[in-house]
Amino acid sequence: MTEVPWSHDRHGKFGAAKRAGVKKIVHVSITSADENSHLEYCQGKGFLERRLRESGLSYAILRPAVIFGSEDILISNIAWTLRYFPVFGIFGDGAYHIQPIFVEDLAKIAVEAGKSPENTTTLSNQWRVFI
């Protein structure tokens, strides 16, 4: 992997957090964070997650698939389309495993993850136990 400059702790934020006595970092990432991805953004997220794990700080990494809220456009447009049209096109083979999460539910999960003493990396399909 080529190191992506914006993807790591280049400003020393993890070290500064440790020196300031931060107890835990809750990081909202993406489901496809992977240092070996062919996509630079996914590589960067994977690299940052690894740096967080190696920082010595307590952490929780949350990986939501799709976040929606009251001002959301994507989910609202999909819902509108489903109400008014009998057919909805899906690209590819349609075998997607995307579990949208309401922004306020994600906030509650982040708070709970911050309170937990364990280091965790949580995928969106694991959150059903919290909701």
What per-residue confidence (pLDDT) applies to 38?
A: 93
Residues of 52-63 as b/e, b for ≥16 C-beta within 10 angstroms? beebebbbbbbb
117 lies in some domain: yes
Structure-token match 């969106």, residue found: 124
109 lies in some domain: yes
Alpha-carbon span 45 to 35, nearest angstrom: 7
Helix residue ranges per DSSP H, the chain: 13-19, 40-54, 74-84, 103-115
List CB contacts of 19: < 8 A, sequence separation 6 or more: none
Cβ atoms 27, 119 nearer than 8 A: no
Q: Residue 35: which CATH number?
A: 3.40.50.720
What per-residue confidence (pLDDT) applies to 66?
A: 84
22 lies in some domain: yes
105 lies in some domain: yes
Alpha-carbon span 80 to 76, nearest angstrom: 6
Phi, psi of 123 (to 5 degrees): -85, 155
42 lies in some domain: yes
What per-residue confidence (pLDDT) applies to 65?
A: 84
81 lies in some domain: no
Domain span holding position 56: 5-67+99-123
Alpha-carbon span 19 to 21, nearest angstrom: 5
As for how many domains the chain has, the answer is 1
pLDDT 10s per residue in the chain (131 long)? 455 555 556 668 888 999 999 999 999 999 889 999 999 999 999 999 999 999 999 999 999 988 888 888 888 888 888 899 888 777 777 776 677 889 999 999 999 999 998 898 876 555 444 43
